[in-house]
Amino acid sequence: MKQYTDQLLRNYTHIPYQIWNEHLRQIKKWGIQTHTMFEWLTYITEELGSLAKAISGYEYRNGEKQRVIDEAYQVATLAIKIAEMYITQDGVNLKGD
């Protein structure tokens, strides 16, 4: 089976743009969300499952590479949001209400 080597974030300058676009897509779809951290953990776990499915599809069933990339960005975006919630304000929503 094909091996993949860490690319050392050499394309890092382009990643924040992809994360920002995914963030905007999520906000448009779901609005600004407030949940317990265990609910957030459930959502990122669901996305991780989707990433696993996309990887399996690509590696075993001629699935699309772009699907893997998109799902990875969805996981990454939620992970960054979780980090930000702990960094900023213990999960209080950003609207200030």
Nearest residue to 80 via CA among 28, 7, 30, 15: 15
Residue placing its CB nearer to Mg ion in the complex, 52 or 94: 52
* Secondary structure class of 16 (helix, strand, coil): helix
Give the chain's length: 97
Cα separation of 5 and 27, whole Å? 33
Cα separation of 50 and 96, whole Å? 32
CB of 88 to Mg ion, least distance (A): 24
Provide the Cα torsion 65, 67, 68, 72; round to 10°. Answer: 140
Among 22, 73, 74, 85, binds Mg ion (CB under 5 A): 74
Q: How many residues bind Mg ion (CB under 5 A)?
A: 4
Binding mask 36-65 for Mg ion (x = CB under 5 A): -----------x--x---------------
CB of 36 to Mg ion, least distance (A): 21
Stretch that binds Mg ion, among 22-30, 37-45, 55-63, 72-80 (CB under 5 A): 72-80
Residues of this chain that bind Mg ion (CB under 5 A)? 47, 50, 71, 74
